[in-house]
Amino acid sequence: MTAPVAIIMGSQSDWETMRHAAETLTALGVASEKHIVSAHRTPDRLFAFAKGAKAAGFKIIIAGAGGAAHLPGMTAALTELPVFGVPIESKALSGVDSLYSIVQMPAGIPVGTLAIGKPGAVNAALLAASVLALSDRALSGRLVAWRKQQTDAVAERPEESA
């Protein structure tokens, strides 16, 4: 059976960020498939992947890319599946270039854009899990438990150093 979530990224160098999406999904018991799909370097692979994603059984695509980050938008143009974009923190412009490239989609082709870097990767996974949980009661329960654990881990007062 195909995993419900596909995590795609423009380069091997994006994995250090995108692994946080994969790890968060794993913690929630959601399977994911990971692929390197570059809009610039492997455009044919992008077309084949995005065109076939729905028929392959994926429900949600998380796409991470940096710099002139066309991957999430191009993917969204080629599939009706929900696409969540994660702007990778680039060296030259700290990911602002990635963010602007992903977030400012013209009306008609949506990309749900998350924060730059690791927070965006984690939140893309949580958002994907929330959508899947609408039709998966067990996952919904795991999501509630995950949030409770996060809440319980917050101390009431800061530890003061001696």
Q: Tell me how far, at minimum, the Cβ of 39 lies from ligand RP5, in Å.
A: 7
14 binds ligand RP5 (CB under 6 A): yes
| Nearest one of 139, 129, 96, 136 to 115, comparing CA atoms | 96
85 binds ligand RP5 (CB under 6 A): no
Select from 19, 35, 40, 142 the one that contacts ligand RP5 (CB under 6 A).
Answer: 40
Note the helical H segments in 15-162.
15-27, 43-56, 71-78, 96-103, 118-133, 137-152
Does the annotation flag 14 for ligand binding? yes
Burial of 27 (0-12, 13-18, 19+ CB in 10 A): middle
2: DSSP letter = -
120 binds ligand RP5 (CB under 6 A): no
> Which segments are annotated as binding site for substrate?
11, 14, 41
Contacts with ligand RP5 by CB under 6 A lie at 10-11, 13-14, 38, 40, 65-67, 88
